[in-house]
Structure 1
Amino acid sequence: MGKPETLVVMVVAGIGDLVLATPALRALRLGHPDAAIHLMTNSQALPLAKNLPYVSKVWPFPVRDIIRDRKNMLAGAATLARLRALKPDVCVNLFKVKSKAGATRMKAAFAAIGASVRVGHDSFGFGSSLTVKAPEDFFIDRHVCESMLEMAKLAGGIPDGAGPDVFWDPESELKWRGFFDELSEGGAPVVGVNPGGDRRTKRLGADKFAAAADAVARERGASVVVFGGPGEEPAAAAVCSLATHAVPASLAGKLSLSDLAYALGRTDLLITTDSGPMHIAAAAGASVVCAFGPDDPRLTRPVVPEDRSRVIKLHRDCSPCFKSDCERPSCMEDIPAEDIARAAVELLDIRRAARESAEQ
């Protein structure tokens, strides 16, 4: 009997992108049940990636550190060298190649890893490094999650028909279970608010989050908790100070990524911008109200049934523009607070009705 296959799978993108890649990773496991599957992902996503049960080993890659300071390339090169030492049979990059610079970096990574079968997106010249090529238009006009699943199929993956999933450390549950038990005491719905975002153009005013928090607290008796990563504490504090009916608890800056996944799994609903926490919440079982501005929800909206999400997006001739900077991002600034609040209450009602029906 020959040695089991070794696959190197690359998802060197955002935390939300890793969550969206989980159906593709499961498909690769189903298609290669005996293989050693090595996942190379953004270092920031490691706390979630390391808990994926269908991956053999996770290799964090310091892509943001390298972009910030090229001196960090040595750490990245060392990771690639260790992957090459595994003598992998297959290397697949699940994510799209978005620029010539990205294609150049990906070519170098594939060459360093040295797999005989190389699967990826034939874009910006990356196709010359591939033995199995997804065409240039592969990621156009369909959801990123679906595109990555199709990429996995090119590498022998077999879909299981389920959506994204997420896992957290047992310690996160032990640490925060009591806090969320108290919030949900008496059957009160727990509503999360996530005012942060990785780009200024994707953020929404604190007043609109506060208005939505007030609506769910006043009309449905919800307990409200505000989330945020390191550096987003001021945005969370602004939501708390502007709320007039809700009394939000702020967890901004207090949670590890694993803690956040558990916490979002304990919420009934997350009100959020287009962000990593949006995808984590959806995968963890929460309903989601999400405000979209410069990006296209057809490509990155939450992957959940229709009765668990509402996308709030205004029509603008310039949108989607995918820009990181804008003098006046009216696509976000002009979203009515009432639309967000109305959608939040509606999803809470749908969730409550489903729970009551299941209990009968």
Structure 2
Amino acid sequence: MQPITPSKLKRILVVRSDRIGDVILSTPVFSAIKEKYPHCYLAVLVDQSVETLVRGNPFVDEVIAYDKKGKHRSWWRTLWLGIGLRKYHFDLAIHLHPTNRVHILSWLAGIPIRIGYCRKNHYLLTHSIEERKRLGKRHEAEYNFDLLQFIHIPAPHRLKLYVPLHPEDKNELKMLAPDLKDPYVVYHPSASCPSKIWPPERMAELANSLAHECGTFSVIVASGSGVNEANLMEMHLKQSYMNLGGKLSLGMLGWLLKGARLLVSNDSGPVHFASAVGTPVISIFGRNQAGLSPTRWKPLGERSSFVHKNVGCVECLAHDCKLGFKCLQELSVNDVLGEIKKLEIFEQNRK
């Protein structure tokens, strides 16, 4: 691998084409690049569905939307997108998440320096390192900085997440939920895999307990198929609540989280969204698997924590679990409630 000359890095592209939490945990990279190279033009390529998480970021000069499930779904359209990127004359591309398509995109764009991991079609990269994220020894946000060693940027002592919020989304939230009551707690009962989902009826029991003890109003959020868990949780709620499952844009979710006293969520994107807007979080983990552990995915915000119970599994079979997701089933409401009490968020509200 040829050494990289920092003085030649005038136009930089960062690529992160996966999901909500992954993109948010990449935001410290943007500020670090701008701090090291303040005069560079920094563009970020993300999936169109999460574009709003980066649009308006003061460290990013342009957001390029990749519609991999829509207009760029076919290989033909992907090829044209890559060729279209040539007009930017990027000097460097940093792939924070390896996929065959994004590696092809940066190669087609004629970007002379292409940094990434030794995965997928990594032969299209000019500089690569082994991906060690599966070992789960550090946080995902820290792992992102492994690639930046090529351009002489170390990981900062404090990883600060940032997501811009837009006034129009706040107004839409007010129109949708005029009866939102303070103090409120947001609950996210779904996740990307069944092996990450704490039983929704148990999360409802937790919400009932907090409402009874601290007078909190419960707000349920979810999207896509997660609305099923939101509706199931709603069926078991006894105190005042609002079910916003399937009704929020990402921007509206951001404002909702910002105004909350707490987010209780399975290990998923809203955990990191809440951390980015300064809201305390309790994140619930199930699988005993290094690459999916709290060490790698815990909330980074202040006054936040997680619950995780090791039930002795030697090998995690994920959604093929033969034990009925014992790690989640043995996690009690009192376990989570006890962790919430440690944060001392509701001490003045207790009855």
* Contact in 1 for aligned 2:282/2:307 (Cα 8 Å): yes
The alignment partner of 1:63 has SS state of coil
- 2:240 maps to 247
* 1:267 aligns to 2:260 (yes or no): yes
Q: 1:78 to 1:321 in 2, by over 3 A?
A: farther
- 1:129 maps to 124
- 1:24 maps to 29
Q: Mean Cα displacement is larger for which, 160-169 or 70-79?
A: 70-79
Work out the CA distance in 2 between the residues paired with 1:60 and 1:37: 14
- 1:357 maps to none
TM-score with structure 1 length normalisation?
Answer: 0.83
State, as a whole percentage, how many aligned pairs show the same letter.
23
CA-to-aligned-CA distance 1:143-175 (integer Å, 9 cap, x gap):
110111332343344666441111222111123
Counterpart residue type for residue 247 of structure 2 = K
- 2:67 maps to 62
- 2:172 maps to 175
**What does 1:43-122 align with in structure 2 at a 5 Å threshold?**
43-64=48-69, 72-95=74-97, 97=98, 102=99, 104-122=100-118
Q: Mean Cα displacement is larger for which, 75-84 or 28-37?
A: 75-84
- 2:163 maps to 166
The alignment partner of 2:274 has SS state of helix
* 1:302 aligns to 2:296 (yes or no): no
The alignment partner of 1:183 has SS state of coil
Work out the CA distance in 2 between the residues paired with 1:324 and 1:297: 18
* 1:217 aligns to 2:211 (yes or no): yes
Q: 1:72 to 1:241 in 2, by over 3 A?
A: same
* Contact in 2 for aligned 1:62/1:75 (Cα 8 Å): no
Counterpart residue type for residue 181 of structure 2 = L
The structure in which a higher percent of residues are helix is 1
Q: Please report how far the alpha carbon of residue 125 of structure 1 lies from its aligned counterpart in structure 2 after TM superposition.
A: 6.1
Work out the CA distance in 2 between the residues paired with 1:339 and 1:214: 15
Counterpart residue type for residue 212 of structure 2 = R
The alignment partner of 1:51 has SS state of coil
Work out the CA distance in 2 between the residues paired with 1:250 and 1:149: 38
Work out the CA distance in 2 between the residues paired with 1:323 and 1:62: 29
Counterpart residue type for residue 318 of structure 1 = C
Work out the CA distance in 2 between the residues paired with 1:77 and 1:150: 29
Q: Please report how far the alpha carbon of residue 318 of structure 1 lies from its aligned counterpart in structure 2 after TM superposition.
A: 3.2
Counterpart residue type for residue 20 of structure 1 = L
Work out the CA distance in 2 between the residues paired with 1:322 and 1:7: 40
* Contact in 1 for aligned 2:279/2:301 (Cα 8 Å): no
The alignment's C-alpha RMSD in Å is 2.8
- 2:4 maps to none
Counterpart residue type for residue 280 of structure 1 = F
- 1:284 maps to 277
Paired positions, count: 335
Work out the CA distance in 1 between the residues paired with 2:103 and 2:185: 44
- Which residues of structure 1 form unaligned runs of 5+? 354-360
Q: 1:281 to 1:136 in 2, by over 3 A?
A: closer
* 1:154 aligns to 2:150 (yes or no): yes
Counterpart residue type for residue 296 of structure 1 = S
* 1:14 aligns to 2:19 (yes or no): yes
TM-score with structure 2 length normalisation?
Answer: 0.85
Work out the CA distance in 2 between the residues paired with 1:322 and 1:39: 35
Counterpart residue type for residue 183 of structure 1 = K
Counterpart residue type for residue 305 of structure 2 = R
Counterpart residue type for residue 165 of structure 1 = Y
Counterpart residue type for residue 255 of structure 1 = L
Counterpart residue type for residue 293 of structure 1 = G
* Contact in 2 for aligned 1:205/1:333 (Cα 8 Å): yes
* Contact in 2 for aligned 1:21/1:149 (Cα 8 Å): no
- Which residues of structure 2 form unaligned runs of 5+? 1-6
The alignment partner of 2:281 has SS state of strand
Work out the CA distance in 1 between the residues paired with 2:49 and 2:312: 35
- 1:356 maps to none
Q: 1:322 to 1:134 in 2, by over 3 A?
A: farther
Counterpart residue type for residue 47 of structure 2 = N
Q: Please report how far the alpha carbon of residue 15 of structure 1 lies from its aligned counterpart in structure 2 after TM superposition.
A: 1.0
* Contact in 2 for aligned 1:119/1:155 (Cα 8 Å): no
Work out the CA distance in 1 between the residues paired with 2:36 and 2:319: 38
* Contact in 1 for aligned 2:78/2:101 (Cα 8 Å): no
- 1:197 maps to 191
* 1:313 aligns to 2:313 (yes or no): no
The alignment partner of 2:295 has SS state of helix
Q: What stretches of structure 1 move > 6 A for 4+ residues in a row?
A: none
Q: 1:80 to 1:176 in 2, by over 3 A?
A: same
